[in-house]
Amino acid sequence: MTALTQIQTFLGRKRFAVVGVSRDPRDFTRTLFHELQNRDYDVIPVNPAVPDIAGVPCYARVTDIEPPVDGALLLTKPEQTERVVRECRDAGIRDIWMYRGGGNGAVSPRAVEFCRANGMSVVAGECPFMYLPRTQWYHRVHGFCRKLTGSYPK
């Protein structure tokens, strides 16, 4: 499966976990969470430090989610990502997206290898905003620039 197909498959899901959503309403993770909600995704927040995110019940771990989800968007720090992908495997989650907008984002090379070794689909190092239809102009410009440089997923 190509990277672009993995992205399209993940975003074709309408219900998935969003791991690492911040308690801070001004944080980027909250912006992404709300954008997904506004696009009719049923996003399930995961953060052990808070009981809810904007009124949506929050889970401490992906293994606690009922009914279970098939995908998880990770907005975690790389040092947390390996633990989270192990929990995802234990919860039967097969589709993983490790967010990155700048820097490493949630990407951990060991976590990527773990996913691949365990038959899990992994999008490593992309921002969902670039792939959402009718996204803001600056996300479209970013995607266009990546196409020009040959770094856009194929």
pLDDT of residue 148: 65
- Residue 123, in any domain of the structure: yes
Write out the residue range of the structural domain in which residue 132 sits.
3-149
* CATH number of the domain to which 80 belongs: 3.40.50.720
Positive or negative, the CA dihedral 30, 49, 87, 58 is negative
Structural domains in the chain (count): 1
Q: Which helix (H) or strand (E) holds 88?
A: helix 78-90
Q: Is residue 109 part of a domain?
A: yes
What are the percentages of helix, strand and coil residues in the chain, rounded to 5?
Answer: 40, 20, 40
106: in domain: yes
- The reported pLDDT for the residue numbered 94 is 95
pLDDT by residue, tens only, the chain of 154 residues: 788 889 899 999 999 999 999 999 999 899 999 999 999 999 999 999 999 999 999 999 999 999 999 899 999 999 999 999 999 999 999 999 999 876 678 999 999 999 999 999 999 988 888 777 776 656 666 566 666 676 667 7
pLDDT at 24: 93
Q: How confident is the model at residue 140, as a pLDDT?
A: 65
Is residue 126 a part of any domain in this protein?
yes
Within a domain: 102: yes
Question: In whole angstroms, what is the distance from residue 68 CA to residue 62 CA?
Answer: 8
Residue 105 lies in a domain: yes
Nearest CA among 76, 82, 87, 74 for reference residue 108: 82
Report if residue 30 sits inside a domain: yes
Is residue 154 in some structural domain? Answer: no
Model pLDDT, residue 2: 81
Residue 145 is predicted with a pLDDT of 62
